[in-house]
Structure 1
């Protein structure tokens, strides 16, 4: 064991890759956990193959601008509203992250540029019998903490109260079990169109407050980034649209490592990263690739671009802004230009690095979700093994969609 630990450290120090340590929980343990999980009432009411809308409220019901106890200029729009108001937590390149153990969808830090400067977060606990959106804390500039968000200090990454500025979150929010929601790289801040800060932020789930845990060393790391958690190595893999080499955040010491000896992937395109524990691979959704995806081997640092076969799902827009998840055997994808009652699937047909992946589709009945936000769905589409289905949040003024798969 000591020799293995030494080799793992040596490989990481060389920037080449990471030898796998203990893998994720065995299937027997996962099955036992599922057996003891209490299915909430709303989920019991949805038959497999159906789409329903769930939850007691909508995000817009919590709009801080419409709350006289929060908005200091009520009924007028507060300064933090920007051009979009609270809709800016969804519309402008904003994602989310999913906590499987806690059954919670997090919208931790949303908005950005001139679209929306409110830095309040939101969460929805789907394991409750009657899920309801909750605001984690009021935005900077609210009553009791009045300040101007457009203050000319955008490059600091913080407002005057020391809290982080709102950002286009893309695929940068990552939920880490036992730690919480991590904004892997903060990026482009509100009221400013420049690169933004490369700070790594951690959200305290109880208080809604953020702390700075690290700073990414690469200048291009802030642009349209994507991260994914690797439970076997306890780290976050990260790839930005402007940085050719992947990197990882070692969560044991909050240290960033840029993998300069890995294959370089210089094409500018928004990404989505998904860790596939069954194959020990990183799946990258990428509109710049021939088939819009590629595969990273973390053992070798190699990049593979498999082909795709089968019929492409109708209406699906497949790129780094798509909502994509792994269910243990296949990629599930949702980002549709029009109304649809289907989820696209992409399944490895053999050796996932080199053999083709096959397109498919899961058809549902019931409520038809609205069309995707053009700027991207990102992590607002998530898969839950416990709940046996997918959650989708398309807008602030509609309730949450759920696709019952099993």
Structure 2
């Protein structure tokens, strides 16, 4: 479902899905009524002196059974969702070692990893949704990476009317032959409800993740920050009083140690307001703190602390709207933001969201004034920001940004670049420091790509 993500198109999409959902089911006709014909009495033979029949003792009318007072309708019990078959992640390799397939690669070459199409682990049965599990790539969704062991992760991705599956998929890049795993299956269809951050089994709803998916190394958890639930005609409404309905303040967290979703309140609730859509969401790779700012809410700029699981409003800075890719330079604590709802120039921020640099130079600098949900990473080994964007040629383009001079140049790529990623890169591009390169899944049916950036 490769459609442009604008306010008008989203409204047309919601109208279309609501129309589909309102198609009437065939009416059930009335049942046949069984009518018993009353039999005529048989004639009684005449007798000269009929013996009168004894008068029957009337049967007393039974006293009516009192109607019990109905109990309140309880919240429906969830249907047991499939329990994940243990698919434990392998122990990470020794630090400093790389698999043979990485060691054989030159730098800056696009390398498609064989047999790594996400479609290879498609769930059965397929959860509801208009565009199905391909939405995990195409429906405005990103990814995360656990640095230890180089584990690429996609979870609860899809959302809106596209896809309701909340499965967790992992690709262990440190293996000799990486293959996708399903760490947790999707919720049973009977548990899927509309307009709620959590389904009836208390597992999270699928959502457009944009850049909200982050991996918190210190907690060994994947987190999807403050994102709403499904909004799809035809899904059941939440039960009356359901606490997770019509809100977007909860975050979803998946425990890779226990291989299960946490309870809804494991991550502190987001205390602010505003529009979650393509919000700024970027993690500091060293502290695990997440910097987060929504659209249209007075420019409130927050930090979620991984150490004590708390939110702090740290400034009134912001952008309306954001719609950016972002990464943090861990040497200087600077954030590069690229993109916008319309073509917007890049900017360098400090951790409080203050603009500290706007003078980008070099022949490739105009390429960073862009829209379309680019992706940004910071490569710690080569000390460069790396920007990926969908290109005008139909293939992904890669740019290098110097962190202090802000000089921009095209990366010296070789090999065949992957096709543009439907509806944007977001944070689907992830830097893997143990492997010295970056990874991106750009297609549901195609292979995942890896690029080695340093030896």
What is the TM-score with the length of structure 2 in the denominator?
0.69
Question: Do structure 1's residue 324 and structure 2's residue 376 form an aligned pair?
Answer: yes
Question: Do structure 1's residue 287 and structure 2's residue 340 form an aligned pair?
Answer: yes
Matches within 5 A, 1:206-355: 206-212=258-264, 213-220=267-274, 222-230=276-284, 233-243=287-297, 244-259=299-314, 262-287=315-340, 292-298=345-351, 302-312=354-364, 318-319=370-371, 321-328=373-380, 329-337=383-391, 338-340=393-395, 342-350=397-405
Shift of 1:401: 0.8
Q: Quote the Cα distance in structure 2 between the aligned partners of 1:401 and 1:384.
A: 13
Q: Quote the Cα distance in structure 1 between the aligned partners of 2:176 and 2:207.
A: 32
Task: Tell me the secondary structure at the aligned position of residue 225 of structure 1.
Answer: strand
Instruction: Give the unaligned 5+ runs of structure 2.
Output: 1-91, 234-244
Counterpart in 2 of 1:63?
122
Q: Quote the Cα distance in structure 1 between the aligned partners of 2:168 and 2:291.
A: 23
Shift of 1:277: 1.4
| Structure 1 residues 288 and 399: alpha-carbon distance in aligned structure 2, compared to 1, 3 A threshold | closer
Task: Tell me the secondary structure at the aligned position of residue 135 of structure 2.
Answer: helix
The alignment's C-alpha RMSD in Å is: 2.8
Give yes or no for contact 2:110–2:450 (8 Å, CA) kept in 1: yes
May I ask how many residue pairs the two structures share in their alignment?
345
Counterpart in 2 of 1:165?
205
Instruction: Give the unaligned 5+ runs of structure 1.
Output: 1-32, 72-77, 351-356
Give yes or no for contact 2:280–2:325 (8 Å, CA) kept in 1: yes
Give yes or no for contact 2:114–2:447 (8 Å, CA) kept in 1: yes
1:106 to 137, 153, 164: 153
Higher mean displacement: 47-56 or 357-366: 47-56
Task: Tell me the secondary structure at the aligned position of residue 407 of structure 2.
Answer: strand
Give yes or no for contact 1:165–1:189 (8 Å, CA) kept in 2: yes
Task: Tell me the secondary structure at the aligned position of residue 178 of structure 1.
Answer: helix
Q: Quote the Cα distance in structure 1 between the aligned partners of 2:269 and 2:415.
A: 46
Give yes or no for contact 1:165–1:190 (8 Å, CA) kept in 2: yes
Question: Do structure 1's residue 405 and structure 2's residue 453 form an aligned pair?
Answer: yes
What is the TM-score with the length of structure 1 in the denominator?
0.77
Q: Quote the Cα distance in structure 1 between the aligned partners of 2:319 and 2:111.
A: 41
Counterpart in 1 of 2:132?
85
Counterpart in 1 of 2:428?
380
Higher mean displacement: 173-182 or 282-291: 282-291
Counterpart in 1 of 2:254?
203
Counterpart in 1 of 2:236?
none
Question: Do structure 1's residue 120 and structure 2's residue 163 form an aligned pair?
Answer: no
Q: Deviations over 1:117-137 (max 9, x none)?
A: 111111111011110111121
Which has a greater percent of strand?
Answer: 1
Give yes or no for contact 2:390–2:425 (8 Å, CA) kept in 1: no
